[in-house]
Copies of this chain bind each other. A is one copy, B any other.
Amino acid sequence: MRARQRETAIRAAALRIFRRKGYHAASMQEIADAVGLYKGSLYYYVASKEELLVRLFEGRTEKVLAEVAAAASGAGSPRERLSAMARAYVLGVLRNLDSVHVYLREEHSLPPSALQQVHREQKAMRDHFERVIVEGTSRGDFVQGDPKLAALALLGMCTWVHRWYRPRGRLTESAVADDFAERAVRMLSP
C-alpha cells in the first residue's frame, strides 16, 4: 500500500474509532490494529494521537464553506440565496456525520492553534449567513431582528441534524436539506 493510501486509511480508522469511543478513550493501538499496522509503524505516519485529531479537523469545513460562500454571492434574491446556503450547509453536515460528531465533541481536546483555526472557520460561516440576512432585511424580504441571533438560530437548527439523522432511515439527505432550506427562509419571513 502506498503512503498516501495508508494515510487515508489511518484517518478513516481514527475518525471511526474517535466517533465510537471518544478521542480520549481511543488508543493508538486500536487505530494501528484497524489498519493492520504495528503500533510502532503507525508512528511513522503520525507523531501522536493529538496530531491525528488535528489532521482530521484540517480542511474539514473548507468544502462546505466554499459552497456556502458561492451560494451567498450567487445570483437570485436574498431568500433564494439563503435557501441555497442552508441546503448546502445541511448537505455538508449529512455527508460528514462522523466527522461533524467528532469535530463538535472534541474541540476541547485540540491544541490552541488548531482551535483558533476552527473558530475562524465557524466565524466565516456565520458571517456568510449574517451578510445575506442583513441584505434581505434591508430590502424588506426578511423580518426585522438581530441578524446575529438569526444566523445562530439557523445554523443551530441545521447543525443539529448530525444528532438525529440516520443514513438508512426514512429520509434521504436531499429531503432533509430541502425541508430545512424552506424552514430557514420561513423562520425569517415577515
This chain: copies in complex: 2
A149 to B186, CA, bound (A): 14
A149 to B172, CA, bound (A): 13
Binary contact readout A142-168 vs B (1 if CB under 8 angstroms, 0 otherwise): 010110011011111111110110000
* A contact patch SS: helix
Judged by a CB distance under 8 angstroms, whether A3 is at the interface is no
Is the Cβ of A156 less than 8 Å from the Cβ of B163?
Answer: yes
A159 to B143, CA, bound (A): 23
Count, chain A residues at interface, CB 8 A: 36
Interface residues, chain A, with chain B CB atoms under 8 Å away: 20-25, 105-106, 108-109, 143, 145-146, 149-150, 152-161, 163-164, 171, 176, 179-180, 183, 186-189
